[in-house]
Amino acid sequence: MNGRLIFASILLLSIACKALASADFKPCTDIADLPELQNTLCLTVSVPLHYTNHSASEDIELFIRQFPATERRVGALWLVAGGPGESGASFYTLIDTYRQAFPGYDIFIPDHRGTGYSSTICKEESVTSTGGISLVGQEWATCFSSMYENPNYVKAFSITHAAYDLVELIQRLSGKGKRALYGVSYGTQLSLRVLAINPNIVDIVVLDSLVPMQDDSAYDLSRRSHIVNAVGKAFIERCDNTAHCQQTRELTTRLAKLVAEKLLLSDFSADLPRSHLSDTLGMLLDIPHLRSRIPSIISALNDHDVTLLKSTLQDVEHYYAGFNNGYANYGSSIPLVQVISSSENNLQSSLSKDEVKGAEANLLFTSPIPRLLAGNTLPTYAKDRYFAALPKQIPPTLVFQGQLDPKTPIDGAQKHVNKLTGAGEIELITVEQASHFVALQAKNHFIEKTNAFLNRSEANLH
């Protein structure tokens, strides 16, 4: 790197640091709207669009909400949302869980670049647009058109740039005391990218539903349906071997017959959506109290009864609606999902939609993700030196994993943990019968184990 580039690099980083250092959190404008948002503080800061392209001077904005500690403060906890594409608002209704798991921590929840109140890939994802941050109607075409017209802007919304964002935010806004980092699902991947960039940025890490290694071809997104199918069949087999399910023997055979004869829900009843039956059952694996209905749903559909299926679909809507109490920044950016997933997390990006459908033809439980990613034509960015790279050093790290997780499978997590053992202290806790997102699905267990981990870590620090 020549002297001019070095100077430009230092100048850009100093501008970002000054902006963050001089910024002050202020009471959020929506603190009176909902109880969980009371006393929260908000801040919007400018950061470079490109951290690695020093000839680019454009800035973007990042939004951070702070939930101040409710007891004697010990440090700062940063919550890293999943997706990719989810805003930090996905944590708001769960804030009491994290307060109990991390007592005495100020909790900082950023909206990743490309999500929520932060700068987005498309202006149509603004909270003030027709559908809010979700694209609706003609906004899809306008958004995609702008992505084709501005590929260099789109390519800046990468995992690495998002990790640089977090490094800067944690460094400048955490304040005194210990620093903790929690990531869930894709947030675990982003958290590990943060540690690859700066392994000393935090003192402790908790990873919930750890993603497989990026170069593990058995578990990348092109294989997601095969992962979901394996978990679904494992659940049915467990069910078939319990007294509760004695009346639903031969579930696998019955389900295979249903999937072969009636691919779509609308094939069972005209007033049901045109969704794949296998996708719907795969979706239910994420929600344990609804997952338990799968054997009964299979039996009922074999008897041409759609009543339980219809009521379960309504319960799914109600379940997910419970995470959004009307937050303007709540939701997921589909353009960001497409860009990051296609660029880094789909190892078979050359597969066509027909090839994906053919590979999934005999599966009983599936995910729509491989089909949605197949044949991507939107701009992507090149893999950088951090792709599939493990942090050379990690602070004390705790990993939670559900044994029946259909998104980040236990086997992939175990392999990832084994690879990380040489970088530092790491512990894997598996939770029987839990699905994805242990802090949500096994709240009390998560709180208990995290408290114990923090106590051990604090003792070691002293």
Query: pLDDT digits over 228-286, tens only?
Result: 999 999 999 887 666 556 555 578 888 999 999 888 999 999 999 999 999 999 999 99
C-alpha closest to that of 414 among 225, 216, 191: 216
The helix (H) or strand (E) run that includes residue 199 is none
Phi then psi dihedrals of residue 410, to 5 deg: -60, -40
Domain assignment present for residue 388? The answer is yes
Domain that holds residue 213: 75-218+383-461
Residues 32-87 pLDDT 10s: 889 999 999 999 999 999 997 766 678 999 999 999 999 899 999 999 999 999 99
- Output b/e per residue, 60-80; b: 16+ Cβ within 10 A: bebbbbbbebeeeebbbbbbb
C-alpha closest to that of 114 among 63, 78, 184, 164: 63
CA distance 269 to 304: 9
Q: What share of the chain is helix, strand, coil (3-state, %, to 5)?
A: 45, 15, 40
CA distance 409 to 316: 22
Domain assignment present for residue 45? The answer is no
C-alpha closest to that of 365 among 258, 240, 247: 258
Q: Is the dihedral of CA 255, 257, 260, 264 positive or negative?
A: negative
Q: Which two tokens stand for residue 422?
A: 């040489």
Residues 77-98 pLDDT 10s: 999 999 999 999 999 999 999 9
Could you give the angle at which helices 277-284 and 307-321 cross, rounded to 10 degrees? 50
**Model pLDDT, residue 32:** 86
Domain assignment present for residue 319? The answer is no
C-alpha closest to that of 125 among 112, 136, 134, 113: 134
Domain assignment present for residue 183? The answer is yes
**Model pLDDT, residue 14:** 43
Residues 257-268 pLDDT 10s: 999 988 899 999
Phi then psi dihedrals of residue 202, to 5 deg: -135, 165
DSSP string spanning 7-21? HHHHHHHHHHHHHHH
Domain assignment present for residue 262? The answer is no
- What's the CATH code of the domain at 105? 3.40.50.1820
Domain assignment present for residue 19? The answer is no
Model confidence, pTM: 0.92
C-alpha closest to that of 323 among 137, 204, 184: 184
Domain count within the chain? 1
Domain assignment present for residue 164? The answer is yes
The helix (H) or strand (E) run that includes residue 61 is strand 59-67
* CA distances for 362 relative to 6, 200, 347, angstroms: 56, 47, 22
Instruction: Please list the ranges in the chain whose pLDDT falls under 50.
Output: 1-22
Beta carbons of 426 and 391 less than 8 angstroms apart: no
CA distance 254 to 240: 13
Domain assignment present for residue 48? The answer is no
DSSP SS3 for 355 = helix
CA distance 105 to 115: 24
Beta carbons of 114 and 85 less than 8 angstroms apart: yes
DSSP SS3 for 278 = helix
